[in-house]
Amino acid sequence: MGQQLTMSETGWKLGDMAATREAYGKALKELGDKNPNVVVLDADLSGSTQTKHFAKAHPDRFFNMGIAEMNMIGTAAGLARMGKIPFASSFAMFAAGRAWEFVRNSVAHNHLNVKVCATHAGLTVGEDGASHQIIEDVAIMRVIPTMTVIVPADAIEAYQAIYAIAEYDGPVYARLGRAKVPVVFDENYRFEIGKAATLVEGGDVSLIACGVMVYRAIEAAKELEKQGIRAEVINMATIKPLDNAAIIKTASKTGRVITLEEHNVIGGLGDAVASVLAEEHNSNVIFKRMGIEDKFGQSGDGMALLDHYGLAVSDIVAEATRQCKA
Active-site residues: which are they? 69
CA distance 225 to 192: 29
* Among candidate residues 91, 54, 47, 53, the one with its CA nearest the CA of residue 69: 91
Task: Indicate the length of the chain as a whole number.
Answer: 326
Measure the CA–CA gap between 54 and 77, rounded to whole angstroms.
20
**HSE-up of 282 (CA within 13 Å, CB side)?**
0
Cβ distance 58 to 103 under 8 Å? no
Taking the C-alpha atoms of residue 48 and residue 42, their distance in angstroms, rounded to an integer, is: 10
d(CA 123, CA 120): 9
First-to-last CA distance in the chain? 52
